[in-house]
């Protein structure tokens, strides 16, 4: 059985588990399988988009950083424009993350505080490690797949050119770092059943949680 940080952490109820992976790894697909098992999931990237459109101070700072092109006249975020800028300008990306990540972390903590009646809940985010927010969690699940397969998936899903996908890959941290920090790894390259891997991970988390709860 894989040794995890759950066995040494001070357990809270419910546990806060992170789930991450590079673009095209399939972390959202995996998260939805956990949801079928009844596990609540906080989708940080979706919440970030909402926060960028709804929170006044965040919008003001984004406007100052990107100019009037950042938002449409109806208040909607011009995601295509912003993505085109940040994936070619590392400094702009870092400044955007410095605006959005603290707001998302705060929003996520409020969401976690509302979760009851479950042994654990998940926070799904692409930049969980890069933002440092993984340090606030009890354990980390990493979804991984070979880079050529991930590039192919994103090109097909988003209609992007290969060069654009590679630029986005470069904006994320190295795969090796994710795997080094992982408590659980789920392979999404087609060689193993995703459902089986999720069930095994779920059972291990619940089992470790139950043992720790019994000993406390």
DSSP count for the chain of H helices, then E strands: 9, 5
What is the reported pTM? 0.88
Domains of the chain: which residue ranges?
1-40+118-216, 41-114
Taking a C-beta distance cutoff of 8 angstroms, is the pair 82, 7 a contact?
A: no
Summarised one tens digit per residue, pLDDT across range 143-152 is: 999 999 999 9
pLDDT at position 1: 38
Q: Quick one: pLDDT at residue 206? A: 93
Q: What is the pLDDT of residue 211?
A: 79
List, for the chain, all residue ranges whose pLDDT scores fall below the cut of 70: 1-12, 216
Maximum CA extent, the chain: 57
Classify domain 41-114 at the CATH topology level.
Answer: Rossmann fold (3.40.50)
Q: What is the CATH number of domain 1-40+118-216?
A: 3.40.50.300
Contacts within 8 Å (CB) and 24+ apart, 59-67: 61/99, 62/96, 62/99, 65/92, 65/95, 65/96, 65/99, 66/92
CA dist., res. 129 & res. 87, Å (int): 18
pLDDT given for residue 46 in this prediction? 94
Give the model confidence (pLDDT) of 13-53 as tens digits: 789 999 999 999 999 999 999 999 999 999 999 999 999 99
Task: Indicate the Cα dihedral angle 202, 205, 210, 215, nearest 10°.
Answer: 170
- 8: its two tokens: 């040494």
């Amino acid at each position: 059985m894989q040794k995890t940080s759950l066995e040494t952490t001070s357990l809270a109820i419910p546990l806060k588990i992170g789930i991450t992976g590079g673009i095209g790894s399939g972390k959202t697909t995996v998260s939805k399988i956990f949801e079928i098992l009844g596990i609540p999931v906080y989708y940080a990237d979706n919440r970030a988009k909402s926060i960028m459109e709804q929170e006044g101070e965040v919008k003001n700072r984004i406007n100052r950083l990107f100019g009037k092109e950042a938002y449409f006249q109806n208040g909607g975020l011009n995601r295509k424009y912003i993505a085109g800028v940040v994936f070619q300008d590392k400094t702009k990306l870092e400044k955007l993350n410095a605006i959005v990540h603290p707001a998302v972390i705060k929003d996520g903590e409020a969401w976690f505080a509302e979760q009851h009646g479950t042994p654990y809940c998940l926070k799904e985010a692409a930049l969980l490690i890069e933002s440092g927010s993984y340090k606030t969690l009890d354990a980390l699940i990493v979804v991984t797949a070979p880079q050529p397969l991930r590039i192919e998936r994103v090109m097909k899903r988003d209609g992007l050119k290969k060069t654009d996908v590679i630029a986005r890959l470069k904006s994320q941290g190295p795969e090796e770092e994710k795997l080094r920090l992982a408590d659980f790894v789920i392979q999404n390259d087609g060689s193993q059943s995703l459902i089986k891997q999720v069930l095994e991970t779920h059972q291990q988390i619940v089992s470790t949680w139950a043992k720790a709860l019994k000993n406390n």
